[in-house]
Structure 1
Amino acid sequence: MKDVNYKMWTLCMVQDEDRVLMLNRTHDNFKGYIAPGGKLEFPESPIEGAIREVKEETGLIVKNLRFKGIYEYVNEEANDRHIILNYLTNDFSGELLSDFTEGIPEWVKISDLEHLPMQQSIRRRMPFFFQDGTFEIHVVWEDGEKEVHIRET
């Protein structure tokens, strides 16, 4: 059995009635809208990481996070597994940052999400946040960055 390189991230959708908080990213290779989140810092738990990332990126303090699902990329050639744990909350306090580095925090109507620019990986899981239950999306990558197999449950 080969050693696998595991990398874990969180993403937390913050909901306020018919709106969600999104970051409008205008830098690096990950442009477009995305919910707050980021890489877990060892040894924090996934929920601790999600809470920290929301605070760092938006200024809001979140609690009572609900687990919504797993989105993962597997690159068999590189022995990499990237796991993104997805959460949803409507329990938050604080004020949005006026000085931000990860993207401009914006409240967006849920009905407008489908019209916003965002990467396919974000768009693919967006509907699952607003449905009952949890989701698992498993993406296999080969030859660099080519999706060759996607399983949604």
Structure 2
Amino acid sequence: MEKSISYKIWTVCMIKDGETVLMLNRQHDDFKGYIPPGGKVEFPESMTNAAIREVYEETGLVVRNLIYKGLYEYVNIENKDRYMIFNYLTSDFEGTLIEKPKEGELTWVPIEQLSKLPMQESIRRRIPYFFREGTFEIHVEWDNENNKEGNIKISLT
């Protein structure tokens, strides 16, 4: 019997305040480094509602008027897995930051300093696309044999 395709869906939301963005300094499990707030999409919620919920849970901020910026996805052909991350940007938020969130320390970072922060390459690769007109799609085929990213295709609109 052939294995069915598995889909896993997440969101991230870059929150911009002037020339800074809110980042989480995540230091647990195997995904360490600075990341925008976000998380898993729960069935049957929409991608946008998931992003709004995850931002609130991780930061204490209520975000509105999210702008869809693009899709980042990993496809593991051998395992028949597809990981999809829907990326959003907003400057419309209110609330008070959580003092000690479980996901990691919250920090407002100047946009020009983002490239100097320790982060996963998948996060670093998409950061410039949040701040340009249009959308992006980054399609990554996972290399099982070497346990790393394989073929990467970037499409911009």
The amino acid of 1:11's aligned partner reads: V
Distance 2:86 2:42 in 1: 14
**Equivalent residue, structure 1, for 2:61:** 60
Structure 2: stretches of 5+ with no match in the other structure: none
Deviation by residue 1:45-89 (Cα, 9 ceiling, x = unmatched)? 000000000000000000000000000000001000000000000
Distance in 1, Cα, partners of 2:102 & 2:32? 13
- The answer for the alignment partner of 2:31 in structure 1 is 30
CA distance in 1, matches of 2:148, 2:17: 35
| Residue in structure 2 matched with residue 150 of structure 1 by the alignment | 152
Q: Which runs of 4+ in 1 moved over 2 A?
A: none
2:94 is matched with 93
* Greater mean deviation of Cα atoms: 107-116 or 1-10: 1-10
Partner of 2:8: 7
TM-score (norm 1): 0.97
For 2:132, the aligned partner's letter is Q
- State the number of aligned residues: 153
Deviations, residues 16-48 of structure 1 (Å, cap 9, x unaligned)? 010000001121111110000001011110000
Unaligned runs of 5+ in 1: none
What CA distance in whole angstroms lies between the structure 1 residues aligned with 2:50 and 2:142?
26
Superposition RMSD in Å: 1.1
Question: Could you say which residue in structure 2 is the equivalent of 1:71?
Answer: 72
Distance 2:77 2:97 in 1: 40
Q: Distance in 1 between matches of 2:139 and 2:19?
A: 29
Q: Which residue of 2 aligns with 1:81?
A: 82
Q: Which moved more, 1:142-151 or 1:12-21?
A: 142-151
Percentage identity across aligned positions?
59
The 3-state SS of whatever aligns with 2:112 is: helix
Q: Deviations over 1:98-129 (max 9, x none)?
A: 13100111100000001000000000000000
Specify the alignment match of 1:48 in structure 2. 49
